[in-house]
Structure 1
Amino acid sequence: MIEAVTGGNVWAKSFDRAMVDSFETQPLVGRAVVTCLAPQIDRAEAVRTRVSAPEDLTAHRLAQRG
């Protein structure tokens, strides 16, 4: 997976499976991507919320609660 802005590599992994197992491989790939990227997205979102104050504090409280 490549970051669009910088062109840098964000995630890469090799999955060696027979083509007959392609539908079984899709959930494995999805889980691997989420496991790798979720912490990065959480960190980036935390930084973004610290940098810019929310306009509607009700929405902000609900987002934090969620």
Structure 2
Amino acid sequence: MMPSARFADLEGASVLITGGGSGIGAALTEGFARQGARVAFIDIADGPSLALADRIETDLGRRPLYL
């Protein structure tokens, strides 16, 4: 497992990620959500993006906004 970066305080911060449905973008989407940020992400691939949003909602109890 790769170590994750920790930022001073992302609780309640708003984050918009482009290409957030797969790869590095998905890692950022999940990482920011795990650190308490309100996350919105954009991607052209619906399937992986919706699966990511579902997984984050299941794990954290809050769903990122997929646009």
Q: TM-score range by the shorter chain?
A: under 0.3
Instruction: Please identify the structure whose Cα radius of gyration is greater.
Output: 1
Structure whose residues are more often strand by fraction: 2
Output the TM-score relative to the length of structure 2.
0.27
Structure whose residues are more often helix by fraction: 1
Output the TM-score relative to the length of structure 1.
0.27
